[in-house]
Chains A and B, each alone.
Chain A
Amino acid sequence: DGGITQSPKYLFRKEGQNVTLSCEQNLNHDAMYWYRQDPGQGLRLIYYSQIVNDFQKGDIAEGYSVSREKKESFPLTVTSAQKNPTAFYLCASSIKAGLHTDTQYFGPGTRLTVL
C-alpha cells in the first residue's frame, strides 16, 4: 500500500517544548516538502528537500528544522522558537526534483496544538 504517512494525527505540546513530526513515503520520490496550513491562509512552504542530505528553507522556515537522512523520511521539528506553532502540518512528495511540472502528493497531516 503506497503513500505518505504522517504521525501522529493529533499532537499536543506545552509551550517551550520542541516536538518532531514524522513523515514517511514509500513512493520512491526524490523530493519532499513540509507545509503549514492555517485557516484563511492556505498552505505555506516551510522546508523542502530535493535529495537525501540536502534541504532548503521555504517561505516560513523560522522556528523549524528538518533532516533528510533517508530518501523515505523527512521529519520536521517544531522548536520553541516558533512563535505560533499551533497549526495543521502537511507533508508532501514528488517524483523528481528539478521537474517543476511534477505533481505533489500529500499526506494526511498532523494537527499540532500548543497548550
Chain B
Amino acid sequence: AQSVSQHNHHVILSEAASLELGCNYSYGGTVNLFWYVQYPGQHLQLLLKYFSGDPLVKGIKGFEAEFIKSKFSFNLRKPSVQWSDTAEYFCAVNGGFQKLVFGTGTRLLVSP
C-alpha cells in the first residue's frame, strides 16, 4: 500500500526566509505526485504536480518541487517566503487508479 510522510508538522519562518518542506512516499511503481495548499478559510487547491519528464516542477506563487526517485522524495521549496504563504501544505501521491493518498500536512506560519 502506498503511504506519504510529511515529517514537519509545524514550521515557523520569517518573511524572506527560504522554505523546504519534506515529503517522502512509499510505493514501488510509477507515481504521480502532488502538492496541495489550504490557505486559511479557502479551498484546498493544487500548488504543483509531477507526472513525468523534468523532475524539477514549478508551480504557482514561486513554489517548486523536485522529484528524486532514488530517495522516494518530492520536497517543496520556495526561495523567499511571504506572509501570504501562511497555510497548510499537503503532499499527495497517486500510484494507482485515481486514489490519492495524502500526507498529514504541514502548517506553515510566516511572520512578517
Spell out A's residues near B (CB within 8 Å): 31, 35, 40-45, 48, 50, 58, 90, 94, 97-109
Contact = CB atoms under 8 A, between A and B. Distances in A.
B98 A98 contact: yes
Contacts of B46: 103, 105
A107 B45 CA distance: 9
Contact of A98 (B32, B42, B97, B100): B97
Contacts, number: 55
Interface string B21-57: 0000000000010101000001111100101000000
B90 interface: yes
A101 B9 contact: no
B94 interface: yes
A66 to B, nearest CB: 15
Contacts of B34: 103
Interface stretch (B11-19, B69-77, B78-86, B101-109): B101-109
A58 B54 CA distance: 32
B99 interface: yes
Interface residues on B, range: 20 to 34
A44 B96 CA distance: 16
A100 B43 contact: no
B9 A42 contact: no
Given A40-B104, A42-B103, A103-B49, A48 B98 contact: yes
B9 to A, nearest CB: 7
Nearest to A107: B43
A97 B99 CA distance: 10
Contacts of A43: 44, 90, 92, 100, 102
Contacts of A41: 104
